[in-house]
Amino acid sequence: MKKTVSVLLLAVISLTFFSCEIRKFVPGKSFFEQTDVFVAGQDGIAEYRIPVLLTSNQGTLLAFCDARVDKPGDSPNNIDLVMKRSTDNGKTWGPLRVLLDAGEGGTVDSCGLVDRKTGTLWVFTVYCPVGIGTKNAKSGISGSTFMYWAIKSDDDGQTWSDPIDITAMIKKPEWRAGSPGPGKGLQLKNGRLIIPKYYRSTDDSSDSTSHIVFSDDHGKSWELGGEAQSQEKTNESQIVELSDGRLLLNMRGESGNFRKVARSSDKGLSWSKVTNDMTLIDSRCQASLLNFTDNTNYQKNRILFSNPASTKREKMTIRLSYDDGWTWPAERQLYAGPSAYSCLTILSDMTIGCLYERGQQGPYEKITFARVNLEWLTKGKDSLTPK
């Protein structure tokens, strides 16, 4: 009886807050829609890259990315951090807002995080001074080097804090470059906040190591966690908490065409040997990894993964695992053409959102929001069943 009442109450709440979208989405039927959010040339921006997508505690969608103002390309460049909000599950998006503008310098390669216990929205970004990029950054925590800023919002993304310099907390002085994410961080069930990150410590641009930073006081302070040491160098990564409490780190490699993975049994303080996931073909591109459901609230544990599933940046694909990322039995292609970075989120009605780069001639022409349901992803073989 309690189960029935809970399900009915959830349905009433969903209908109250998401009525405009639920008229389109019928549970049990395949659902897919796409909307372009950032398009090169719009709002005076030459190129948009590096998508971040968050769902707030209020159900608002927040899309962030790099706005490469005058010309395409990584730092050194004039790059701002920008955002759009959606209050109707991604059907429409508000105007472009500039959250960080470092002049002719850059705020780049961002990583988002929602603290579900406090409702605070976080975005972590790299500050690149004028003229500084990965190839010429010096070691140190200030000056001609990569520095790390955070901004936060406590009002559903309406207003944002001034940048908070956390460089000294999450960077060793001998490190030169590297970024958080990009994509999103993770809050563990015990409340710990984790940001996946990587660093470069030498002049060799392929010499990089994935690691994490964490906070146990809701972002007031940050500490360095474990490094996923490997002969096969890794960089951009994403992280999930597994059904047994361990962590899975999924990484972009500097070589080969498969994703690199490692696991942690101590909340990210140390990592297992880095291995290749031979199912997850990769073009050495950023990817997204996300917890979807667990068997506390639903019948099955589910993890989502998205990337361009090819040796080239093309074929943006979402995959599904039921066994903590050991196998990926379900997959569906979002877009067959040129595509690159992506970021997954779960909407308040339990549909799946993916913000990803795509185009006709190349993968960086626009950033698109796709919304699908589990039935679409599994071609009708699976659907959500609350406990």
Q: Which residues are catalytic?
A: 236
7: helix, strand or coil: helix
Please, are residues 340 and 330 in contact by the beta-carbon 8 Å criterion? no
341: helix, strand or coil: strand
Using CA atoms, how far apart are residues 386 and 158, in angstroms rounded to an integer? 33
Question: Dihedral angle at the C-alpha atoms of 297, 299, 305, 310, nearest 10 degrees?
Answer: -170
Which two tokens mark 370? 């796709």
Using CA atoms, how far apart are residues 21 and 31, in angstroms rounded to an integer? 11
Using CA atoms, how far apart are residues 171 and 149, in angstroms rounded to an integer? 12
Using CA atoms, how far apart are residues 296 and 323, in angstroms rounded to an integer? 15
Within 10 angstroms of residue 221's Cβ, the number of other Cβ atoms is 11
Using CA atoms, how far apart are residues 250 and 115, in angstroms rounded to an integer? 21
Using CA atoms, how far apart are residues 84 and 42, in angstroms rounded to an integer? 13
Q: Locate tokens 């039935």: which residue?
A: 375
Closest CA to 179 of 160, 164, 195, 161: 195
Helices (DSSP H) in the chain: which residue ranges? 2-17, 19-22, 167-170, 374-377
As a residue count, the chain comes to 387
